[in-house]
Structure 1
Amino acid sequence: MGWNSWNKFACNIDEKLIREIADVMVANGMKDAGYTYINIDDCWHGDRDSLGFIHPDPERFPSGMKALADYVHSKGLKIGIYSDAGSQTCGGRPGSRGYEFQDAMTYAEWGIDYLKYDWCNTEGLRAEGAYKTITAALKKAGRPIVLSICEWGSDKPWEWAQDVGHLWRTTGDIYNCFDCIHDHGTWKSLGIMQILDMQEGLRQYAGPGHWNDPDMLEIGNGQLTPAQDRAHFSMWAMIAAPLMSGNDLRSMDKNTLEVLTNPGVIAINQDSLGIQGFRHLVKDSVECWLKPLEDGAWALCYLNRSTEVKTVSIDWQDLQVTDEHSNRQFNPGKTPYKIRNVWTKKDMGSVGKKMTHSLAGHDVLMFKLSI
């Protein structure tokens, strides 16, 4: 859980912004809600010196990265940085190709806790080998650093990255819309629903310490409705995704903050079992998702993919599911689960009687069912 600069600011970053984001994350309750990492994405780089060591842009980061890391750490937070397996980053700054061990050593000396490692300008490289190189470099650097593999899913990192990195992107870049594809000509960025659909078949690869990463959150960036914000956050929670906010924390409204800090949804995302949820069934544009939780509990989420209001009827006697991946059975006909609506934060008794709900377009109905 944390924040990343790219979705909102792209290359328009400097040390003043990063300090202010750290200040706000503490002040507004996000740190207390579980957000830990302040991640600086592309374009922080200056030049390499005569020995090949990388330095931050002296105009944007005049105090240096060590001082900035110290400041973020003083707030009880951790700091992340960005590089690329190729000769240049996606933004045209110096990449780490050929400098992996130097860069890892530099990041460790600065006090970096997290590295997002991209895949631009990697002509002739094999993804698995390139990422194993930076993994070896980080291990030699002498500081625990989370490795975020940003290879866009092209080489199926879920099949080989479990012992290489801690999380791996499963798709191309997210785009700030609920249900669309943005064509850039040579590549495409994907709406929230498109990315969600691409997680099908990947849940068996995820677990504690090695996560499928469907990219950063677009909540609070001005294009989504309040319902879509809830749906975006809920589905990322259901699929046990990293929760990296990508908005301007300094100016977000009350609704955005309430979505990003909803304790019930975060608890489902951060459940200690680390089991990714799954789509159980689809009826009339409404998807039913389930996620096994610790202590025999389950998360149940209904997602309305249409723009129209739909009626959700829940017959607990019929909602029986065996999840072979987790070896868990959901049987509300026999188990008297207690129902809590995590968005209204209201307890709703126990399963038994049929329930009917009206569900707005692009919205969710989300429950925690506990024993």
Structure 2
Amino acid sequence: MRRLARSSAALLLLLAATTTVVTTTDLPASALENGLARTPQLGWNDWNSFGCSVSDALVRQTADVMVSSGMAAAGYQYVNIDDCWSTRSRNGNGDLVPDPQKFPNGIRSLADYVHGKGLKLGIYSSAGLTTCAGYPASLNNEQRDANLWASWGIDYLKYDNCGDTQGRSGQQRYTAMRDALARTGRPILFAICNWGNDDVGSWGPATGNSWRTTGDIAGNWGSVMGILDAQPRWAASARPGAWNDPDMLEVGNGLTDTESRTHFSLWSLLNAPLIAGNDLRSMSATTRSILTNTEVIAVNQDWGGRQGNKIADSGDQEVWLKPMANGSAAVVLLNRGGGTATVSTTASALGLGSASSYTVRDLWTHTTGNSGPTISASVPSHGAAMFIVSGGGTPPPGGGTSVLRGVGSNRCLDVPNGDETSGTLPIIWDCHAADNQQWTRTSAGELRTAGGKCLDVYDNGTANGTAVEIWDCNGQANQQWRLNSDGSLLALGAGRCLDVIGNATANGSAVAIWDCNGGNNQKWRTT
């Protein structure tokens, strides 16, 4: 980590300024801080195509194809085993046992093979006494199982919701496994699969790297559209490290090629984990081209982490928008109807202002053109057009240089005495608009001082109360901010908001990051 040789002067200054600072040790169960899935995870899972017919050979062959097909180069890295991988009972020591017929060399050997391909291996269990297929699961054995998986080199856990739960809530059962995984010391991505139950949107971001929002997907158009319809209400829960999961991809798995492109476009716009569910070994060239479309994947992997959402619905024609971190707009024009239709939107509706010309990049034809204020396409039945729209003289999100006036305090974010030494802690102070209160919002999501330093979350911290300082700009996620429509400033690397500690209003009061709560001490006006 950077600044190792440096003392914790910044943190000590913040501690001196207020007694309400909270550190990570004070909050052992408040947040998932495993550093994983800062963008949605990409990979493959055997269940949609193979069900219980998983085996060592299948997983090895799939890892081979993931590399040879170009999927690994496009960003896919997890090769995930689903249900039915174990014997029907634990051994005498109480441990889960890989089925010797399916995995004759055990899981550790398989993990070594997958890792040798530059990929990662995932495993499956359930937060009940049995899995969905009736195999032993992990309720009451969380630490034993987590330790075993870590010893095998497992990198990903899909954790289902089947079996007798002994009356415990979803939050209790999933938090128990979250903490067990953390205690292993091995980074294991935690994918919650409780089908959107138990109000998971309220506790999922603090518990898993992703959480299912619905029941299981199937390889047909009706299923894909039904799951899509359930997604808008979940959008506010997603952030880097914690993603809504509308279930795995059915690209090339019962859908037409047109429907597969639509499905992939929308799941990418939704910031969904892109987990392929088809047989990679026999996929068509078209299916491979869909899954490896790096321009569409780039929308999913945009560091800003804003989930796309529906902005217009005209029956069979819909418009879905994802604001990109560089100020452009990713848009999907969707035609759910039975015949070709023209689907349109406007640059103004996409948040790009009003101008006479915009640049439009077609992410499926890989062509770039110009458009007036109306963006439209002729879209086939069950099809989608996907574009990146930019230009029009639109500044970066919230762009320009301005002061940041706290709504609760009516004082401005200030670099004390204009001291631009790296490590200086900003405060709030009477607004006077001198250079030490001027902040420039860049297309990279930075907030730069007049002297060119960046507003920085101390040492890449993510816990409530972590200090905010100024530091040399370096492009890291802890220097990326998003000014939301409600006036909050979201630290994208941490998923928390810039907060005047303790609702203070006096000159010299400290700022830090804190869970976003809508309070006036987290709202800022640009003037």
Once the two structures are overlaid, the 10-residue window that deviates more, 121-130 or 82-91, is 121-130
Q: Which has the larger radius of gyration?
A: 2
Name the counterpart of 2:35: none
TM-score, structure 1 as length reference: 0.91
Name the counterpart of 1:100: 142
What do the CA deviations read for 1:17-59 (whole angstroms, capped 9, x no partner)? 0000000000010000010100000000123211111110011
Question: Is 2:199 the partner of 1:156?
Answer: yes
Name the counterpart of 2:235: 203
Question: Is 2:348 the partner of 1:320?
Answer: yes
Cα distance in 2 for partners of 1:358, 1:295 equals 27
What do the CA deviations read for 1:51-101 (whole angstroms, capped 9, x no partner)? 111110011101010000000000000010000111110011111111110
What do the CA deviations read for 1:171-200 (whole angstroms, capped 9, x no partner)? 010111111xxxxxxxxxxx0000011112
How far 1:331 moved relative to its partner? 2.4
Contact 2:154/2:188 (<8 A) preserved = yes
Question: Is 2:367 the partner of 1:346?
Answer: yes
Cα distance in 2 for partners of 1:357, 1:37 equals 35
Question: Is 2:328 the partner of 1:297?
Answer: yes
What do the CA deviations read for 1:90-148 (whole angstroms, capped 9, x no partner)? 01111111111000000000000000001101241210000111111111111010110
Question: Is 2:161 the partner of 1:130?
Answer: no
Identity, % of aligned positions: 47
Q: Please give the secondary structure, in 2, of the residue aligned with 1:295.
A: coil
How far 1:311 moved relative to its partner? 1.8
From 307, 311, 315, give the equivalent of 1:280: 311
Indicate how the Cα distance of structure 1 residues 64 and 359 shifts in structure 2: closer, same or farther if over 3 A, else same.
Answer: same
How far 1:337 moved relative to its partner? 3.6
The runs of at least 4 consecutive aligned structure 1 residues that moved more than 6 Å come to none
Cα distance in 1 for partners of 2:49, 2:146 equals 27
Once the two structures are overlaid, the 10-residue window that deviates more, 119-128 or 250-259, is 119-128
Backbone CA RMSD of aligned residues: 1.4
Contact 1:234/1:265 (<8 A) preserved = yes
What do the CA deviations read for 1:188-214 (whole angstroms, capped 9, x no partner)? xxx000001111211110010000000
Name the counterpart of 1:43: 84
Q: Please give the secondary structure, in 2, of the residue aligned with 1:347.
A: strand
Indicate how the Cα distance of structure 1 residues 55 and 356 shifts in structure 2: closer, same or farther if over 3 A, else same.
Answer: closer
Cα distance in 2 for partners of 1:173, 1:355 equals 34
Q: How many residues align?
A: 348
The residue identity in structure 2 corresponding to 1:352 is: G
Matches of residues 41-190 of structure 1 in structure 2 within 5 Å? Answer: 41-46=82-87, 47-121=89-163, 122-179=165-222
Cα distance in 2 for partners of 1:336, 1:137 equals 54
Contact 1:86/1:120 (<8 A) preserved = yes
Cα distance in 1 for partners of 2:348, 2:389 equals 13
What do the CA deviations read for 1:198-233 (whole angstroms, capped 9, x no partner)? 112111100100000000001111x21111001100
How far 1:370 moved relative to its partner? 3.0
From 32, 47, 55, give the equivalent of 1:6: 47
Cα distance in 1 for partners of 2:374, 2:97 equals 62
Name the counterpart of 2:266: 235
The residue identity in structure 1 corresponding to 2:271 is: A
The residue identity in structure 2 corresponding to 1:95 is: A
Once the two structures are overlaid, the 10-residue window that deviates more, 14-23 or 47-56, is 47-56
The residue identity in structure 2 corresponding to 1:305 is: R
Specify every segment of 5 or more residues in structure 2 that has no aligned partner in the other structure, as ranges: 1-41, 392-527
Question: Is 2:363 the partner of 1:331?
Answer: no
Contact 2:146/2:180 (<8 A) preserved = yes
Name the counterpart of 1:271: 302
Specify every segment of 5 or more residues in structure 1 that has no aligned partner in the other structure, as ranges: 180-190, 322-328
Cα distance in 2 for partners of 1:357, 1:295 equals 24
How far 1:354 moved relative to its partner? 4.5
From 49, 57, 60, give the equivalent of 1:19: 60
Contact 1:333/1:352 (<8 A) preserved = no
The residue identity in structure 2 corresponding to 1:254 is: A
Cα distance in 2 for partners of 1:65, 1:55 equals 9
Q: Please give the secondary structure, in 2, of the residue aligned with 1:312.
A: strand
Once the two structures are overlaid, the 10-residue window that deviates more, 15-24 or 153-162, is 153-162
Cα distance in 2 for partners of 1:204, 1:136 equals 25
Name the counterpart of 1:185: none
What do the CA deviations read for 1:312-340 (whole angstroms, capped 9, x no partner)? 345x4xx423xxxxxxx712523854210
Contact 1:332/1:352 (<8 A) preserved = no
Cα distance in 2 for partners of 1:141, 1:161 equals 21
Cα distance in 2 for partners of 1:333, 1:41 equals 49
Question: Is 2:225 the partner of 1:193?
Answer: yes
The residue identity in structure 1 corresponding to 2:329 is: W
